[in-house]
Amino acid sequence: MSARFDLSGRVALVTGGNGGIGLGIAKGLAEAGAAIAVVGRDEAKNAAAVRELEAMGATAAGIEADVADAASCAAMVERTVARLGGLHILVCNAGINIRKPPDRYSAEEWRRILTINLDGTWQSCLAAYPVLCEAGGGKIITNGSMLSLFGAPFAAPYAASKGAVVQLTKSLATAWAKDNIQVNCILPGWIDTDLTRQARRDLPELNRKVLERTPAGRWGLPEDLAGTAVFLASPASDFVTGTAIPVDGGYSAQL
């Protein structure tokens, strides 16, 4: 392992780390040497993810928390520090979507999507900030989407939340550069997870459209996000901050 990408002795907290993209990222960070706090609402899913990480030889702890709740975000950081001895890398990955035409959303659905995707990212970052400062710096990776860049007729609140996550990322990057905290966003293309399996059920044409539009000609896998996450979590990216990096098989490069 090149020292530039070595995460030995680092502790990473991954929200939504118990499945899908979050677990793909958690495995990448663990392979690079980090200890992992797997955060999600479902204790059984957290425990299963911890077992997978431990089977790789990693140190991992499952932490039940709901990023929609600011107090729960504060508690997840406290518990990470208590169980793993510190915090150096925060991955704000937890997110949800509900697909329907814009005029069909209830006020509660709009609020739920914005609260988890946007407020959850904000609250996680604020909870981690003092601990990262105390450690002399750190890395924050947020999770956007192709819908941070594009609109879609079936995901107005999700797109609004993910566009805002990029602007939040840039703002925190500019504010916290003085604290040696780099804040960057990953923009996943279409990745095969529970979230998009549900989308394929909701939107029968989606599979064909994704394959036609993605130059790589395939859906991404959760492990496709790992390399970029390791880069953004490691000393290799110490002069990289405020960026939003597509990991999308070329989807956003093609008209």
Binder among 7, 32, 37, 40 for ligand NDP (CB under 6 A): 40
Q: How many CA atoms lie within 13 A of 197 on its CB side?
A: 6
**Catalytic residue check, 129:** no
Q: Residue 136 CB, nearest distance to ligand NDP (Å)?
A: 28
Instruction: Report the SS3 class of residue 9.
Output: coil
CB 76, CB 61: distance < 8 Å: no
Contacts (CB under 6 A) with ligand NDP, residues 204-243: none
Q: Which stretch binds ligand NDP (CB under 6 A): 41-49, 81-89, 167-175, 227-235?
A: 41-49
Contacting residues for 169 by C-beta, under 8 A, at least 6 apart? 140, 142, 144, 183, 184, 185, 242, 244
Taking CB under 6 A as the criterion, the residue among 12, 13, 21, 247 binding ligand NDP is 21
Quickly list H helices, 177-216. 194-202, 206-213
Which span (53-61, 88-96, 173-181, 200-208) binds ligand NDP, by CB under 6 A? 88-96
Q: How many other β-carbons are positioned within 10 Å of the β-carbon of residue 209? A: 11
Q: Of 40 and 138, which CB lies nearer to ligand NDP in the complex structure?
A: 40
Contact status: 194 vs ligand NDP (CB under 6 A): yes
Residues 71/93, Cβ–Cβ less than 8 Å:
no
Residues numbered 50 to 79 that lie near ligand NDP (CB under 6 A) are 65-68
Question: Which of 7, 10, 12, 18 is close enough to bind ligand NDP by CB under 6 A?
Answer: 18
Q: Using DSSP bridges, classify how beta strands 60-64 and 89-92 pair: parallel, antiparallel or unpaired.
A: unpaired
Asked if residue 190 binds ligand NDP (CB under 6 A), the reply is yes
180 Cβ contact list (under 8 Å, min separation 6): 136, 137, 138
Q: Which residues are catalytic?
A: 158
Question: Which positions touch ligand NDP (CB under 6 A)?
Answer: 15-16, 18-22, 40-42, 45, 65-68, 93-96, 116, 120, 143, 145, 188, 190-191, 193-196
